[in-house]
């Protein structure tokens, strides 16, 4: 399948949910460039020695560097420096600041103003945090809506089965995911126009 745009993942939620369901390979189905913001990638893989999720996500991304791109931001560089100095503290909303930084300085590296990019998210704040201005060429899609679209295209047999695997994992080492946008999810086309269908 020919990739038609770039997939941007600005928060850890979609990756965490796909990992819980054992469905990380779904990110590869379109052959689409997948852009992970550096701060998000750091949150996802910060302790691979002690956490299975961190190790498996890191291994998955590194095995597919032909499609994955870790996009550096000023916020991510600052957070990395703080980690090295031992002054980093969680819960500082750095993920939101990093995506705002990316939209301002990095998005144009992947798409022109007249081309749509796809943003996959779970964090309900992504649309309401004032520091984030969603560019007019970004199609906003929650994990739930993305799975519904994959089902419509015949890429997954049942979105409900994948969602159930996310919310009711059988592996006791995986915590259930919670979604606030069931049953249909959030699917907002870009202002310039964007669609699932060619």
| Band of pLDDT at residue 127, cut at 50, 70 and 90 | low
Statement: residue 17 has pLDDT above 60: yes
E strands, 79-122, where?
117-121
Q: Which of 76-80, 99-103, 168-172 has the highest mean pLDDT?
A: 168-172
| Band of pLDDT at residue 129, cut at 50, 70 and 90 | low
pTM, 2 dp: 0.89
83-93 residue pLDDT tens:
777 776 665 56
Answer for the pair 36, 71: CB distance below 8 angstroms, yes or no: yes
35-84 residue pLDDT tens:
999 988 998 998 999 999 999 999 999 999 999 999 988 877 887 777 77
Answer for the pair 169, 175: CB distance below 8 angstroms, yes or no: yes
Here the tokens at position 37 are 């913001």
| Band of pLDDT at residue 1, cut at 50, 70 and 90 | very low
Domain ranges of the chain: 7-188
Strands 138-142 and 117-121: parallel
How many residues are present in the chain?
198
Which residues lie closer than 8 Å to 27 by C-beta, 6 or more apart? 7, 18, 34, 67
Here the tokens at position 18 are 């796909």
Across the beta sheet with 187-188, what order do the strands follow? 68-71, 34-37, 7-9, 117-121, 138-142, 187-188
Distances (CA, A) of 43 to 54, 121, 138, 180: 9, 15, 23, 22
7-188, CATH topology level:
Rossmann fold (3.40.50)
Here the tokens at position 113 are 């103003």
């Amino acid at each position: 399948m020919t990739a038609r745009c770039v997939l941007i993942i600005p928060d850890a939620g979609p990756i965490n949910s796909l990992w819980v369901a054992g469905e990380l390979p779904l990110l590869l189905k379109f052959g689409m460039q997948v852009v992970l913001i550096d701060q998000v990638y750091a949150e996802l893989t910060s302790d691979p020695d002690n956490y299975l999720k961190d190790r498996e996500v890191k291994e998955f991304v590194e095995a597919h560097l032909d499609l994955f791109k870790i996009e550096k931001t000023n916020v991510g560089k600052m957070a990395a420096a703080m980690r090295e100095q031992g002054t980093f503290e969680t819960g500082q909303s750095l993920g939101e600041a990093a995506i705002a930084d990316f939209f301002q300085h990095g998005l144009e590296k992947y798409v022109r103003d007249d081309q749509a990019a796809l943003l996959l998210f779970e964090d309900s704040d992504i649309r309401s945090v004032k520091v984030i201005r969603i560019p007019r060429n970004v199609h906003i899609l929650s994990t739930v809506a993305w799975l519904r679209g994959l089902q419509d295209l015949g890429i997954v047999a049942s979105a409900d089965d994948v969602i159930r695997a996310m919310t009711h994992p059988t592996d006791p080492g995986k915590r259930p995911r919670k979604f606030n946008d069931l049953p249909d999810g959030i699917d907002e086309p870009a202002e310039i126009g964007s669609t699932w269908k060619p």
